[in-house]
Amino acid sequence: MARALRRVLVVVAVAAVASSVSYATDAPRSRRETGQSPPNGTQVGAPDANGVVHITVPVDLTLVGKSTLTDADRARIRGREYEMNNAIGGLENFSNYKYKACDGNSLTFDVKVKLTALPDSDGPEAVPGEGHHFIQMVDDPEQYTFTNIYDPDKMAANGGQGDSTIDSTKPYDGWTDGTWEWNVGYWGWVHEVGHLLGLGDDYVFKGTDENGDPIPVPLIRDGSNRQGTLMDTAPLRWGVRVHLGYDQELIDRVGKLLDKAGKLPSCWQGTIESDSHRTYVYSDGGGAQCDDHWHGEIAFVAKAGGTVTGKGKLTLTSGPTCSGQIDPAYIVPTREIDFSVSGNKQKAGFILVLGELAFRPPVPAASWAGITTLVSTGLTASGPPLTIPNTGPCTAGGTVATSYTINSDTFTASNVFALKCKGN
Protein backbone atom coordinates (compact mmCIF):
# COMPACT_ATOMS: atom_id res chain seq x y z
CA MET A 1 0.00 0.00 0.00
CA ALA A 2 2.84 2.39 0.86
CA ARG A 3 4.45 1.65 -2.49
CA ALA A 4 1.18 2.36 -4.33
CA LEU A 5 0.68 5.63 -2.50
CA ARG A 6 4.25 6.61 -3.14
CA ARG A 7 3.70 5.85 -6.81
CA VAL A 8 0.90 8.39 -6.88
CA LEU A 9 3.35 11.05 -5.74
CA VAL A 10 5.77 10.10 -8.49
CA VAL A 11 2.94 10.24 -11.01
CA VAL A 12 2.20 13.82 -10.05
CA ALA A 13 5.85 14.75 -9.95
CA VAL A 14 6.69 13.26 -13.29
CA ALA A 15 3.41 14.58 -14.63
CA ALA A 16 4.56 18.13 -14.36
CA VAL A 17 7.84 17.35 -16.11
CA ALA A 18 6.02 17.04 -19.41
CA SER A 19 3.34 19.56 -18.65
CA SER A 20 5.06 22.53 -20.18
CA VAL A 21 7.05 20.75 -22.88
CA SER A 22 5.98 21.59 -26.41
CA TYR A 23 5.78 18.04 -27.75
CA ALA A 24 2.90 16.67 -29.82
CA THR A 25 0.91 13.78 -28.45
CA ASP A 26 -1.01 10.94 -30.01
CA ALA A 27 -4.24 12.00 -28.32
CA PRO A 28 -7.19 10.51 -30.24
CA ARG A 29 -9.47 12.91 -32.12
CA SER A 30 -7.05 15.72 -31.36
CA ARG A 31 -8.00 18.93 -33.15
CA ARG A 32 -4.39 18.91 -34.21
CA GLU A 33 -5.31 15.92 -36.37
CA THR A 34 -8.60 17.35 -37.63
CA GLY A 35 -7.10 20.72 -38.46
CA GLN A 36 -9.24 22.61 -35.94
CA SER A 37 -7.53 25.05 -33.61
CA PRO A 38 -9.89 27.76 -32.35
CA PRO A 39 -7.93 30.57 -30.67
CA ASN A 40 -9.64 30.37 -27.29
CA GLY A 41 -8.11 28.27 -24.54
CA THR A 42 -8.26 29.68 -21.03
CA GLN A 43 -10.84 32.46 -21.09
CA VAL A 44 -10.34 35.81 -19.37
CA GLY A 45 -12.93 38.54 -18.86
CA ALA A 46 -12.19 42.25 -18.56
CA PRO A 47 -11.86 43.56 -14.98
CA ASP A 48 -15.30 44.33 -13.58
CA ALA A 49 -16.29 47.39 -11.55
CA ASN A 50 -14.87 45.77 -8.40
CA GLY A 51 -11.54 44.94 -10.01
CA VAL A 52 -12.34 41.23 -10.31
CA VAL A 53 -10.97 39.38 -13.32
CA HIS A 54 -13.03 36.25 -14.01
CA ILE A 55 -10.96 33.41 -15.49
CA THR A 56 -12.62 30.26 -16.84
CA VAL A 57 -10.58 27.14 -17.63
CA PRO A 58 -12.74 24.93 -19.93
CA VAL A 59 -11.49 21.33 -19.95
CA ASP A 60 -13.12 18.61 -22.04
CA LEU A 61 -12.23 15.16 -20.68
CA THR A 62 -12.30 12.08 -22.87
CA LEU A 63 -12.89 9.19 -20.47
CA VAL A 64 -10.57 6.63 -22.02
CA GLY A 65 -12.19 3.21 -22.42
CA LYS A 66 -15.72 4.59 -21.96
CA SER A 67 -17.41 4.50 -25.37
CA THR A 68 -20.73 5.36 -23.72
CA LEU A 69 -21.07 7.57 -20.66
CA THR A 70 -23.42 6.77 -17.81
CA ASP A 71 -25.01 9.19 -15.39
CA ALA A 72 -22.52 7.92 -12.82
CA ASP A 73 -19.61 8.86 -15.11
CA ARG A 74 -20.90 12.39 -15.53
CA ALA A 75 -21.62 12.71 -11.80
CA ARG A 76 -18.07 11.59 -11.06
CA ILE A 77 -16.64 14.38 -13.23
CA ARG A 78 -19.04 16.93 -11.75
CA GLY A 79 -17.85 15.88 -8.30
CA ARG A 80 -14.22 16.35 -9.29
CA GLU A 81 -15.06 19.78 -10.73
CA TYR A 82 -16.67 20.74 -7.41
CA GLU A 83 -13.62 19.54 -5.46
CA MET A 84 -11.26 21.49 -7.72
CA ASN A 85 -13.22 24.73 -7.60
CA ASN A 86 -13.58 24.39 -3.84
CA ALA A 87 -9.81 23.96 -3.58
CA ILE A 88 -9.17 26.97 -5.82
CA GLY A 89 -11.74 29.09 -4.02
CA GLY A 90 -11.15 27.85 -0.48
CA LEU A 91 -9.64 29.70 2.45
CA GLU A 92 -6.26 30.05 0.79
CA ASN A 93 -7.36 31.10 -2.67
CA PHE A 94 -6.52 33.42 -5.52
CA SER A 95 -8.91 36.08 -4.29
CA ASN A 96 -6.95 36.50 -1.04
CA TYR A 97 -4.22 38.20 -3.05
CA LYS A 98 -4.22 41.36 -5.13
CA TYR A 99 -2.35 41.98 -8.35
CA LYS A 100 -1.33 45.57 -8.94
CA ALA A 101 -1.98 46.38 -12.59
CA CYS A 102 0.17 48.82 -14.52
CA ASP A 103 -2.48 51.54 -14.18
CA GLY A 104 -2.28 51.33 -10.39
CA ASN A 105 -5.53 49.42 -9.91
CA SER A 106 -5.56 46.34 -7.67
CA LEU A 107 -7.08 43.29 -9.34
CA THR A 108 -8.41 40.02 -7.94
CA PHE A 109 -8.41 36.81 -9.99
CA ASP A 110 -11.51 34.61 -9.75
CA VAL A 111 -10.59 31.24 -11.30
CA LYS A 112 -13.21 28.62 -12.18
CA VAL A 113 -12.67 25.22 -13.78
CA LYS A 114 -15.35 23.81 -16.07
CA LEU A 115 -15.04 20.06 -16.71
CA THR A 116 -17.07 18.30 -19.42
CA ALA A 117 -17.04 14.51 -19.77
CA LEU A 118 -16.79 13.09 -23.32
CA PRO A 119 -17.07 9.46 -24.43
CA ASP A 120 -14.14 7.63 -25.97
CA SER A 121 -15.75 7.17 -29.37
CA ASP A 122 -15.76 8.55 -32.88
CA GLY A 123 -19.26 10.02 -32.70
CA PRO A 124 -20.15 13.73 -32.74
CA GLU A 125 -20.82 13.61 -29.01
CA ALA A 126 -17.09 12.96 -28.49
CA VAL A 127 -15.91 16.12 -30.28
CA PRO A 128 -14.49 18.70 -27.85
CA GLY A 129 -16.00 22.16 -27.69
CA GLU A 130 -14.35 24.87 -29.74
CA GLY A 131 -11.36 26.29 -27.94
CA HIS A 132 -11.68 23.99 -24.94
CA HIS A 133 -8.59 22.32 -23.54
CA PHE A 134 -8.69 18.66 -24.59
CA ILE A 135 -7.56 16.10 -21.98
CA GLN A 136 -7.63 12.30 -21.91
CA MET A 137 -8.74 11.03 -18.50
CA VAL A 138 -7.41 7.62 -17.50
CA ASP A 139 -7.99 5.55 -14.38
CA ASP A 140 -4.61 3.86 -14.00
CA PRO A 141 -2.05 4.82 -11.30
CA GLU A 142 0.77 3.69 -13.60
CA GLN A 143 -0.13 6.42 -16.11
CA TYR A 144 1.73 9.70 -15.79
CA THR A 145 -0.32 12.88 -15.65
CA PHE A 146 0.83 15.68 -17.94
CA THR A 147 -0.37 18.77 -19.76
CA ASN A 148 1.22 19.85 -23.02
CA ILE A 149 2.00 23.51 -23.57
CA TYR A 150 2.97 24.16 -27.19
CA ASP A 151 5.31 27.15 -27.09
CA PRO A 152 7.83 27.10 -29.98
CA ASP A 153 9.27 30.49 -28.99
CA LYS A 154 10.10 29.31 -25.48
CA MET A 155 11.62 26.12 -26.87
CA ALA A 156 13.73 28.06 -29.36
CA ALA A 157 15.00 30.31 -26.57
CA ASN A 158 15.92 27.18 -24.62
CA GLY A 159 17.98 25.55 -27.36
CA GLY A 160 15.03 23.64 -28.80
CA GLN A 161 14.26 21.89 -25.51
CA GLY A 162 11.16 22.07 -23.38
CA ASP A 163 11.43 23.38 -19.83
CA SER A 164 8.50 22.70 -17.53
CA THR A 165 9.55 25.48 -15.12
CA ILE A 166 9.03 28.28 -17.67
CA ASP A 167 5.80 30.31 -17.56
CA SER A 168 3.97 30.64 -20.89
CA THR A 169 1.10 32.68 -22.34
CA LYS A 170 0.17 29.93 -24.80
CA PRO A 171 -2.84 28.58 -22.83
CA TYR A 172 -4.50 31.97 -23.42
CA ASP A 173 -3.88 31.81 -27.18
CA GLY A 174 -5.62 28.49 -27.80
CA TRP A 175 -6.48 25.06 -26.45
CA THR A 176 -3.94 22.49 -25.35
CA ASP A 177 -4.05 18.78 -24.59
CA GLY A 178 -2.63 16.12 -22.30
CA THR A 179 -3.47 13.15 -20.09
CA TRP A 180 -4.71 13.33 -16.52
CA GLU A 181 -4.85 10.29 -14.25
CA TRP A 182 -7.82 10.05 -11.88
CA ASN A 183 -5.99 8.79 -8.81
CA VAL A 184 -3.66 11.78 -8.45
CA GLY A 185 -6.70 13.40 -6.85
CA TYR A 186 -8.24 16.80 -7.26
CA TRP A 187 -5.11 18.61 -6.02
CA GLY A 188 -3.11 16.88 -8.72
CA TRP A 189 -5.60 18.17 -11.26
CA VAL A 190 -5.55 21.66 -9.75
CA HIS A 191 -1.78 21.61 -10.27
CA GLU A 192 -2.44 20.84 -13.94
CA VAL A 193 -4.92 23.73 -14.08
CA GLY A 194 -2.01 25.86 -12.93
CA HIS A 195 -0.32 24.90 -16.21
CA LEU A 196 -3.50 25.93 -18.05
CA LEU A 197 -3.05 29.33 -16.41
CA GLY A 198 0.42 29.40 -17.95
CA LEU A 199 2.38 28.59 -14.78
CA GLY A 200 5.52 26.50 -14.95
CA ASP A 201 6.52 23.97 -12.32
CA ASP A 202 8.02 25.12 -9.03
CA TYR A 203 10.28 22.07 -8.80
CA VAL A 204 12.96 20.20 -10.73
CA PHE A 205 14.25 16.64 -10.55
CA LYS A 206 17.66 15.88 -9.10
CA GLY A 207 18.79 12.28 -9.03
CA THR A 208 16.79 9.19 -8.19
CA ASP A 209 15.86 7.35 -5.02
CA GLU A 210 16.57 3.73 -4.06
CA ASN A 211 13.70 2.58 -6.29
CA GLY A 212 15.00 4.45 -9.29
CA ASP A 213 12.27 7.06 -9.13
CA PRO A 214 13.25 10.70 -9.81
CA ILE A 215 13.47 12.95 -6.76
CA PRO A 216 11.58 16.26 -6.99
CA VAL A 217 13.32 19.27 -5.44
CA PRO A 218 11.57 22.63 -4.86
CA LEU A 219 12.72 25.35 -7.20
CA ILE A 220 14.33 28.60 -6.11
CA ARG A 221 12.83 31.49 -8.10
CA ASP A 222 14.46 34.90 -7.66
CA GLY A 223 15.74 33.83 -4.27
CA SER A 224 12.37 32.48 -3.12
CA ASN A 225 12.00 28.83 -2.12
CA ARG A 226 8.89 27.57 -3.91
CA GLN A 227 8.31 24.56 -1.67
CA GLY A 228 4.64 23.86 -0.98
CA THR A 229 3.16 26.06 -3.69
CA LEU A 230 0.45 25.00 -6.10
CA MET A 231 3.12 24.35 -8.75
CA ASP A 232 5.36 22.33 -6.41
CA THR A 233 4.89 18.66 -5.56
CA ALA A 234 3.36 17.88 -2.19
CA PRO A 235 4.54 15.14 0.19
CA LEU A 236 2.11 12.47 1.29
CA ARG A 237 0.87 12.63 4.84
CA TRP A 238 -1.21 9.80 6.30
CA GLY A 239 -1.63 8.49 2.77
CA VAL A 240 -3.29 11.70 1.62
CA ARG A 241 -1.92 14.31 -0.74
CA VAL A 242 -1.55 17.52 1.28
CA HIS A 243 -2.84 20.94 0.38
CA LEU A 244 -0.76 22.94 -2.06
CA GLY A 245 -0.78 26.66 -1.36
CA TYR A 246 -0.95 30.00 -3.09
CA ASP A 247 1.19 33.03 -2.39
CA GLN A 248 1.70 36.53 -3.74
CA GLU A 249 4.46 35.45 -6.11
CA LEU A 250 2.15 32.90 -7.75
CA ILE A 251 -0.58 35.51 -8.25
CA ASP A 252 1.96 38.03 -9.61
CA ARG A 253 3.15 35.44 -12.11
CA VAL A 254 -0.42 34.89 -13.32
CA GLY A 255 -0.90 38.65 -13.57
CA LYS A 256 2.25 39.10 -15.63
CA LEU A 257 1.14 36.30 -17.96
CA LEU A 258 -2.24 38.00 -18.41
CA ASP A 259 -0.42 41.25 -19.13
CA LYS A 260 1.75 39.62 -21.78
CA ALA A 261 -1.26 37.84 -23.30
CA GLY A 262 -3.08 41.17 -23.67
CA LYS A 263 -5.85 40.14 -21.26
CA LEU A 264 -5.36 43.07 -18.88
CA PRO A 265 -5.04 46.80 -19.50
CA SER A 266 -1.54 47.63 -20.72
CA CYS A 267 0.25 50.89 -19.98
CA TRP A 268 2.33 52.62 -22.61
CA GLN A 269 4.58 55.65 -22.55
CA GLY A 270 7.05 57.24 -24.89
CA THR A 271 8.25 60.23 -26.81
CA ILE A 272 7.47 62.18 -29.96
CA GLU A 273 10.17 64.11 -31.81
CA SER A 274 8.62 66.41 -34.39
CA ASP A 275 10.13 68.63 -37.08
CA SER A 276 7.47 71.23 -37.84
CA HIS A 277 7.17 73.46 -40.93
CA ARG A 278 4.73 76.13 -42.11
CA THR A 279 4.56 77.98 -45.40
CA TYR A 280 2.61 81.22 -45.82
CA VAL A 281 1.51 82.41 -49.26
CA TYR A 282 0.37 86.05 -49.47
CA SER A 283 -2.13 87.52 -51.87
CA ASP A 284 0.53 89.86 -53.32
CA GLY A 285 2.69 86.91 -54.28
CA GLY A 286 5.02 87.10 -51.32
CA GLY A 287 5.40 84.54 -48.59
CA ALA A 288 7.35 83.19 -45.64
CA GLN A 289 8.45 79.91 -44.04
CA CYS A 290 8.98 78.92 -40.43
CA ASP A 291 10.57 75.81 -38.92
CA ASP A 292 10.67 74.53 -35.34
CA HIS A 293 11.26 71.34 -33.39
CA TRP A 294 9.04 69.89 -30.66
CA HIS A 295 9.58 67.21 -28.04
CA GLY A 296 6.55 65.29 -26.84
CA GLU A 297 5.85 63.05 -23.84
CA ILE A 298 2.92 60.64 -24.22
CA ALA A 299 1.31 58.12 -21.86
CA PHE A 300 -1.83 56.02 -22.29
CA VAL A 301 -3.63 52.87 -21.20
CA ALA A 302 -4.85 50.27 -23.69
CA LYS A 303 -7.75 48.30 -22.22
CA ALA A 304 -8.07 44.56 -22.86
CA GLY A 305 -10.61 45.26 -25.61
CA GLY A 306 -8.19 47.65 -27.32
CA THR A 307 -9.64 51.05 -26.36
CA VAL A 308 -6.92 53.63 -25.70
CA THR A 309 -7.11 56.66 -23.37
CA GLY A 310 -4.34 58.95 -22.20
CA LYS A 311 -2.69 62.33 -22.44
CA GLY A 312 0.56 64.06 -23.25
CA LYS A 313 2.44 67.32 -23.70
CA LEU A 314 4.40 68.86 -26.58
CA THR A 315 7.18 71.32 -25.77
CA LEU A 316 8.93 73.67 -28.20
CA THR A 317 12.66 72.90 -28.05
CA SER A 318 13.99 74.75 -31.09
CA GLY A 319 12.83 77.70 -33.19
CA PRO A 320 10.80 78.97 -34.71
CA THR A 321 13.26 79.99 -37.40
CA CYS A 322 11.54 82.06 -40.10
CA SER A 323 12.51 83.47 -43.47
CA GLY A 324 10.74 85.60 -46.09
CA GLN A 325 8.26 88.37 -45.59
CA ILE A 326 6.93 87.99 -42.05
CA ASP A 327 6.09 90.42 -39.29
CA PRO A 328 8.08 89.46 -36.14
CA ALA A 329 4.85 89.99 -34.18
CA TYR A 330 3.50 86.84 -35.82
CA ILE A 331 6.28 84.54 -34.69
CA VAL A 332 5.67 84.82 -30.95
CA PRO A 333 5.33 81.08 -30.43
CA THR A 334 3.22 78.80 -28.32
CA ARG A 335 5.73 76.86 -26.24
CA GLU A 336 3.62 74.05 -24.79
CA ILE A 337 0.60 72.11 -26.03
CA ASP A 338 -1.39 69.70 -23.84
CA PHE A 339 -3.17 66.94 -25.74
CA SER A 340 -5.48 63.99 -25.17
CA VAL A 341 -4.89 60.48 -26.53
CA SER A 342 -7.61 58.17 -27.84
CA GLY A 343 -7.80 55.36 -30.37
CA ASN A 344 -7.36 51.59 -30.46
CA LYS A 345 -4.71 48.96 -29.92
CA GLN A 346 -4.67 46.46 -32.76
CA LYS A 347 -2.67 43.34 -33.49
CA ALA A 348 -0.21 45.21 -35.70
CA GLY A 349 0.11 48.28 -33.49
CA PHE A 350 -1.90 51.38 -32.60
CA ILE A 351 -4.28 53.79 -34.27
CA LEU A 352 -3.98 56.94 -32.15
CA VAL A 353 -5.81 60.26 -32.29
CA LEU A 354 -4.36 63.26 -30.45
CA GLY A 355 -6.65 66.12 -29.48
CA GLU A 356 -5.68 69.65 -28.49
CA LEU A 357 -6.45 70.58 -24.88
CA ALA A 358 -4.49 73.75 -24.10
CA PHE A 359 -1.84 76.05 -25.59
CA ARG A 360 0.66 77.98 -23.45
CA PRO A 361 0.90 80.89 -24.26
CA PRO A 362 -2.34 80.94 -26.28
CA VAL A 363 -1.53 80.68 -29.96
CA PRO A 364 -2.00 83.76 -32.23
CA ALA A 365 -3.95 82.66 -35.28
CA ALA A 366 -1.20 83.66 -37.69
CA SER A 367 1.55 81.82 -35.86
CA TRP A 368 0.18 78.31 -35.86
CA ALA A 369 3.08 75.91 -36.07
CA GLY A 370 3.14 72.79 -38.19
CA ILE A 371 3.08 70.79 -34.95
CA THR A 372 -0.62 71.57 -34.67
CA THR A 373 -1.19 69.08 -37.50
CA LEU A 374 -0.74 66.38 -34.84
CA VAL A 375 -3.59 67.66 -32.68
CA SER A 376 -5.84 69.33 -35.26
CA THR A 377 -6.95 69.14 -38.88
CA GLY A 378 -7.09 72.90 -39.07
CA LEU A 379 -10.83 72.93 -38.59
CA THR A 380 -11.22 70.45 -35.72
CA ALA A 381 -9.76 70.13 -32.23
CA SER A 382 -8.42 66.64 -32.87
CA GLY A 383 -5.82 65.40 -35.30
CA PRO A 384 -5.91 62.69 -37.97
CA PRO A 385 -5.64 58.95 -37.15
CA LEU A 386 -1.97 58.06 -36.63
CA THR A 387 -0.79 54.54 -37.44
CA ILE A 388 1.99 53.45 -35.08
CA PRO A 389 3.22 49.91 -35.88
CA ASN A 390 4.64 47.45 -33.38
CA THR A 391 8.41 47.16 -33.45
CA GLY A 392 8.64 44.40 -30.85
CA PRO A 393 6.63 42.52 -28.20
CA CYS A 394 6.54 45.61 -25.97
CA THR A 395 7.53 48.45 -28.29
CA ALA A 396 5.96 50.48 -31.09
CA GLY A 397 7.10 53.41 -33.15
CA GLY A 398 7.94 54.94 -36.49
CA THR A 399 7.72 58.16 -38.47
CA VAL A 400 4.30 59.62 -39.22
CA ALA A 401 3.78 62.62 -41.52
CA THR A 402 0.90 65.02 -40.85
CA SER A 403 -0.31 68.09 -42.72
CA TYR A 404 -3.22 70.38 -43.53
CA THR A 405 -3.83 73.47 -45.63
CA ILE A 406 -5.81 76.57 -44.71
CA ASN A 407 -6.46 78.92 -47.63
CA SER A 408 -3.05 78.92 -49.30
CA ASP A 409 -0.99 78.29 -46.16
CA THR A 410 0.44 74.82 -45.63
CA PHE A 411 1.37 73.24 -42.32
CA THR A 412 3.37 70.00 -42.11
CA ALA A 413 5.21 67.93 -39.50
CA SER A 414 7.38 64.82 -39.51
CA ASN A 415 6.75 63.02 -36.24
CA VAL A 416 8.89 60.21 -34.84
CA PHE A 417 7.14 58.06 -32.20
CA ALA A 418 8.98 55.78 -29.78
CA LEU A 419 6.62 53.86 -27.47
CA LYS A 420 7.16 51.09 -24.94
CA CYS A 421 4.89 49.25 -22.57
CA LYS A 422 5.33 49.58 -18.85
CA GLY A 423 6.31 46.27 -17.35
CA ASN A 424 5.30 45.03 -13.94
Instruction: Kindly state whether residues 197 and 324 are assigned to the same domain.
Output: no
Cβ-Cβ contacts under 8 Å for 374 (sequence gap 6 or more): 272, 274, 314, 339, 354, 383, 386, 402, 413, 415
Domain end position, chosen among 260, 278, 306: 260
pLDDT tens digit string along 403-424? 999 888 899 999 999 999 986 4
HEC letters along the chain: CHHHHHHHHHHHHHHHHHCCCCCCCCCCCCHHHHCCCCCCCCEECCCCCCCEEEEEEEEEEEECCCCCCCHHHHHHHHHHHHHHHHHHCCCCCHHHCCEECCCCCEEEEEEEEEEEEECCCCCHHHCCCCCCEEEEEECCCCCCCEECCCCHHHHHHCCCCCCCCCCCCHHHCCCCEEEEEHHHHHHHHHHHHHHHCCCCCCEEEEEECCCCCEEEEECEECCEECCCECCCCCCEECCEECCCECCHHHHHHHHHHHHHCCCCCEEEEEEEEEEEEEEEECCCCCEEEEEEEEEEEEEEEECCCCEEEEEEEEEEEEEEEEEECCCHHHHCCCCEEEEEEEEEEECCEEEEEEEEEEEECCCCHHHCCHHHHHCCCCCCCECCCEEEEEEECCEEEEEEEEEEEECCEEEEEEEEEEEEECCC
Contact between residue 57 and residue 114 where contact means Cβ atoms under 8 Å apart: yes
Instruction: Kindly state whether residues 297 and 415 are assigned to the same domain.
Output: yes
Domain that holds residue 335: 266-421
Contact between residue 316 and residue 294 where contact means Cβ atoms under 8 Å apart: yes
Instruction: Kindly state whether residues 100 and 31 are assigned to the same domain.
Output: yes
Taking the C-alpha atoms of residue 40 and residue 322, their distance in angstroms, rounded to an integer, is 57
First to last CA, the chain: 47
Domain end position, chosen among 193, 227, 260: 260
Instruction: Kindly state whether residues 270 and 170 are assigned to the same domain.
Output: no
Number of domains present in the structure of the chain:
2
Strands 177-181 and 133-138: parallel
Instruction: Kindly state whether residues 99 and 68 are assigned to the same domain.
Output: yes
CATH number, domain with residue 386: 2.40.160
Instruction: Kindly state whether residues 340 and 378 are assigned to the same domain.
Output: yes
Instruction: Kindly state whether residues 403 and 380 are assigned to the same domain.
Output: yes
pLDDT tens-place values along the chain, 424 residues long: 222 222 222 223 333 333 333 333 333 334 434 444 445 789 999 889 899 999 999 999 999 999 999 999 999 999 999 999 988 876 557 778 899 998 888 999 999 999 999 999 988 888 988 889 999 999 998 888 888 887 777 666 666 666 788 899 999 988 888 999 999 888 889 999 999 999 998 888 888 888 887 788 888 888 887 887 888 875 444 344 455 678 889 999 999 999 888 899 999 999 999 999 989 888 787 888 889 999 999 999 998 888 999 999 999 999 888 888 877 666 667 889 999 999 999 989 999 999 999 988 876 555 567 888 999 887 788 999 999 999 998 899 999 999 999 888 899 999 999 999 986 4
Instruction: Kindly state whether residues 305 and 241 are assigned to the same domain.
Output: no
Instruction: Kindly state whether residues 252 and 312 are assigned to the same domain.
Output: no
Taking the C-alpha atoms of residue 28 and residue 32, their distance in angstroms, rounded to an integer, is 10
Instruction: Kindly state whether residues 81 and 103 are assigned to the same domain.
Output: yes
Taking the C-alpha atoms of residue 60 and residue 130, their distance in angstroms, rounded to an integer, is 10
CATH number, domain with residue 193: 3.40.390
Domain end position, chosen among 237, 260, 283: 260
Contact between residue 166 and residue 200 where contact means Cβ atoms under 8 Å apart: yes
Instruction: Kindly state whether residues 118 and 254 are assigned to the same domain.
Output: yes
Instruction: Kindly state whether residues 35 and 157 are assigned to the same domain.
Output: yes
